[in-house]
Structure 1
């Protein structure tokens, strides 16, 4: 069987502390047929110097250097336009790839029907120093995973809950071309990509840990639900897109579940304008209950109950919520 070309789009913004380990993990792939692109989105640390050093040593690396900060979505799209791979990996250069990552996911794709657009896996979560924290999925003694991964038709699942670790995905190029890449108007890409791609493409979960996801203070994921975070506004836009895509009662209920979840978190982080918008969307979807009518009143009056979220996080995770 031939080895299809795989493009690894490496996105860098102030990742100097992690960049060498990230690029070394790309270059250490056992898979032979790689197209490597690195985009620096106007880093203010020493990232560019490190990338240029790697480009000199490894001329197969193509380097796109920005003179204006464009954000992750636009940066990825720019690299996608000049990439050539049949499959694409969106790789943040604070993460680390397992040497077998590409080979195993390509092998999985080759055994799946052409209707499958995404293969995703488990991931090890690491701290800034590279020490292991946990894995994305919690495994019971009996081998059951939490959150439970979904496969095949996953549109309702991606609407209703989080179960995919974003950096683990390998994406069929045709999926991204059909979607015209990521939406550059958004502050982040994952939820929007899942919703739009899962409408027409199937997903496959490969039960292996093939990358390390670094958890640190500058991560986008760490800023979600902080007061004033721009990602909430993007989430609202994705929900509005999803409203036009739902087809079945099951999918509509999954959408309501998502809106309720986001409205709760928006309110409990004092993002009152976004909470107001989300509760209006819940009304549109005929998903209001007595609890959410109460939440609507609390939002209108901007009654601060953030301590509830902080207490919950201390109880569940042993730490204070951001």
Structure 2
């Protein structure tokens, strides 16, 4: 491994509109010892063309891995890790961007303190498609409320709150990532799995320390295709992690809340798929709150099917809506475009 070299592992899928922002945020770290590895997971847009064009003049080492779509984030990041040669490593999706100044501060800390296993942040700001910061979201994670957090605190947050911090923007020692064998290819989840493995490793190796800062090291982009908006997938991730790492624990309350919330808007077929995903998802059927939510959902679906015959409204895109009356009378209207109240671009931070 190359000393002081930071390997940045980027993963993209149909992120062509955001690639330039991401790669420029890397340049703005102003740390010369960087290599960039991009895995494009079979994008159907022009991501590869954009990447190849940028590579021609990009001043840092930029390796592009163009592969068929797997949909397996952990596997894709592992493919990037195989190509990484740095002593330090970080991960990011191509639609997100780094807070460049904070990344440089983290790098300096890691280079000055060889016993630091990783640096992460208890804060993550959100940006819109145009890169403007959503100031209505303070970005403070629950981790920020814990003074001098210990490894057990981080493990507790993974189980009870389903996440301690964002993987994006956190910087890790490559040797430790290798020691825990990176991401688990057989798991749907990626970031939560890597963090749990990391925390369990550090609990057995007290010679390593870590640092949590309260400055956001990443700007997380919110848009229509964010993977976290797939609620069924998120629930499946948590049940898989619950089964592997806490099989004898009761389901965390947050997971029960997620499931009940999902059931409200799900069809009967979607509910069946949710509870047959794995052993732990089936066990959720024993929960009284979930049972009540299912009964209410089935009753509401019957009423809804009658209501939809009379009236239904469908979202075509961000602004256009189509209304259908009695299943055959259709008309559309355009929703007024909301004025953008976000005024600070992420590059101003």
Partner of 1:295: 289
Gaps of 5+ in 1: 245-251, 284-291, 308-322
Task: Name the CA distance, whole Å, in 2 between partners of 1:88 and 1:196.
Answer: 16
**Native 8 Å contact 1:263 1:278 kept in 2:** no
Q: Who wins on radius of gyration, i.e. which is larger?
A: 2
How far apart, in 1, do the equivalents of 2:49 and 2:138 lie?
A: 32
SS in 2 for 1:164: coil
**Which segments of 5 or more consecutive residues in structure 2 lack a partner in the other structure?**
203-208, 264-269, 301-349
Match of 1:261 in 2: 254
Q: Which residue of 2 aligns with 1:304?
A: 297
Which residue of structure 1 lines up, in the alignment, with residue 14 of structure 2? 14
RMSD: 3.1
How far apart, CA to CA, are the structure 2 residues paired with 1:174 and 1:281?
38
Once the two structures are superposed, residues 111-140 of structure 1 have per-residue CA deviations (whole angstroms, 9 ceiling, x without a partner) of: 5562x433112222111121211355349x
Q: What is the aligned residue count?
A: 278
Matches within 5 A, 1:144-223: 148=146, 151-153=149-151, 154-161=154-161, 162-201=163-202, 203-223=210-230
Residues in 2 aligned to 1:136 and 1:179: alpha-carbon distance in whole angstroms: 33
1-structure distance, mates of 2:253, 2:283 = 10
Who is 1:108 aligned against?
A: 109
Q: TM-score, normalised by structure 1?
A: 0.75
String of CA shifts for 1:142-170, please: whole Å, max 9, x gaps: xx986657733122232222341332311
* 2:240 match: 237
Q: CA deviation at 1:209?
A: 2.3
Give, in angstroms, the shift of residue 193 of structure 1: 1.6
Distance 1:31 1:149 in 2: 30
Deviation at 1:264, TM superposition (A): 2.9
- Decide whether aligned partners of structure 1 residues 103 and 78 sit closer, same or farther in structure 2, where only a CA change above 3 A counts: same
Give the corresponding residue for 2:131.
130
Report deviation, 1:281: 5.4
Tell me what 2:321 maps to.
none
Q: Please give the alpha-carbon distance, in whole angstroms, between the structure 1 residues aligned to 2:169 and 2:20.
A: 19
CA distance in 1, matches of 2:93, 2:299: 32
Find the aligned partners of 1:71 and 1:242 in 2 and give their Cα distance. 20
Where 2:9 maps in the other structure, the secondary structure is strand
Q: Which whole-Å CA distance do the structure 1 matches of 2:118 and 2:21 have between them?
A: 26
Q: CA deviation at 1:53?
A: 0.6
CA shift at 1:203, angstroms?
Answer: 4.1
SS of 2:117 mapped into structure 1: strand
Would the alpha carbon gap of residues 150 and 159 (structure 1) be closer, same or farther in structure 2, given more than 3 Å must change?
A: farther
The equivalent residue for 1:313 is none
Instruction: Check if 1:92 corresponds to 2:90.
Output: no
Please tell me whether the aligned partners of residues 259 and 281 of structure 1 are also in contact (alpha carbons under 8 angstroms). Answer: no
Partners of 2:175 and 2:74 in 1: CA distance: 18
> Deviation digits for residues 191-217 of structure 1, max 9, x if unmatched?
212222111225421122232110111
Sort the Cα spacing of 1:57 and 1:8 in 2 relative to 1 into closer, same or farther, 3 A. Answer: same
